[in-house]
Amino acid sequence: MAERKPIESWLTDMDGVLIHEGVPIPGADAFIKKLRESGRPFLVLTNNSIYTPRDLHARLSRMGLDVPVDHIWTSALATAQFLDDQRPGGTAYVIGEAGLTTALHDIGYVLTDHDPDYVVLGETRTYSFEAMTKAVRLINAGARFIATNPDETGPSTEGPLPATGAVAALITKATGQRPYFAGKPNPLMMRTGLNAIGAHSETSAMIGDRMDTDVLAGMEAGMQTFLVLTGLTTSDQVEKFPYRPSKIVDSIADLVDRI
């Protein structure tokens, strides 16, 4: 097997790697500080499309993690980039929050429920039956179906919440149309993120807490992958997957000295 090139750029998931239920994971602050001091390109990624990078910057700052706005990459930004490449200046009916609507506005999309080019589904805490019904009818009328990410549940302090993937399944059942998911594990999110910071997959690494999204997307994008055990995937679950991360570590604290 060919020896991997030294890591020059880092991509890391947010929930389960840097924070857990609104609390920084030990070592996260040292990791971000070391990255910033090194000058190496890096991105903090999230499949959650609710918040804008500015919102996330503020939330992380309150937790003591100083991540600049231009070092945050969301599934909403990846979705907007994809749509801008596919159909510049298009129209969309959107179910989602400010993170998604702002990203689409920023690329010049018009948000409308009148004969849109796309129905775009993202994360929200207020999924409505009326909005889902509108989405079903627009897709049946010819709108293309896009979703920010396939996560079926999301975390909360009270327990799992239905997420984009679960609502997408409902709409698919009603229309027979499966969405194109722009977020992880689609390696498109990794590649657009790498392009945003001028990095190359051969010299980049992805850190995540989920085998089925973070590690899979990083691997398929050609990066080295690190699985941390502070999130969803446990050590005894790793062997159930037909692929493996490049390395398994206990937490982000174990990677500070790798920078």
51-73, pLDDT tens digit by residue?
999 999 999 999 999 999 999 99
Average per-residue pLDDT for the chain: 95
Query: Cis link prior to 185 (omega < 30° from 0)?
Result: yes
pTM metric for this prediction: 0.94
**Cα(88)–Cα(170) distance, rounded to whole angstroms?**
28
Query: 21: pLDDT confidence band, cut at 50, 70 and 90?
Result: confident
Instruction: Tell me how crowded residue 156 is: count the other CB atoms within 10 A of its CB.
Output: 11
Helices 187-196 and 75-86, interaxial angle, to 10°? 90
Please pick, among 15, 29, 117, 214, the residue that the annotation labels catalytic: 15
Bridge-partner residues for 232, per DSSP?
none
Instruction: Tell me how crowded residue 93 is: count the other CB atoms within 10 A of its CB.
Output: 22
Residues in the chain: 259
Is pLDDT at 170 greater than 90 in this prediction? yes
Is pLDDT at 161 greater than 90 in this prediction? no
Bridge-partner residues for 118, per DSSP?
92, 144
150: left (phi over 0), alpha (psi -120 to 50) or beta: alpha
Q: What is the pLDDT of residues 3-14, one digit of tens each?
A: 778 999 999 999
Active-site annotation holds for 214: no
Please pick, among 13, 117, 151, 209, the residue that the annotation labels catalytic: 13
| pLDDT number for residue 4 | 78
Query: 155: pLDDT confidence band, cut at 50, 70 and 90?
Result: low
Mean pLDDT of the region 224-247? 95
Six token digits for residue 193: 């993120």
| pLDDT number for residue 123 | 95
Mean pLDDT of the region 223-243? 95
Q: What is the pLDDT of residues 173-221, one digit of tens each?
A: 999 999 999 999 999 999 999 999 999 999 999 999 999 999 999 999 9
| pLDDT number for residue 162 | 86
Mean pLDDT of the region 227-253? 95
Is pLDDT at 40 greater than 70 in this prediction? yes
Residues in CB range of 151: below 8 A, 6 or more apart: 47, 163, 164, 165, 183, 213
Closest CA to 231 of 174, 127, 155: 155
Is pLDDT at 2 greater than 60 in this prediction? no
Mean pLDDT of the region 99-118? 98
Mean pLDDT of the region 227-233? 94
Mean pLDDT of the region 92-101? 98
Active-site annotation holds for 13: yes
Instruction: Please check whether residue 211 is in contact with residue 245, taking contact to mean a CB–CB distance below 8 angstroms.
Output: yes
Helix intervals (H) in the chain: 28-38, 53-62, 75-86, 98-106, 129-140, 164-175, 187-196, 216-220
Instruction: Tell me how crowded residue 70 is: count the other CB atoms within 10 A of its CB.
Output: 11
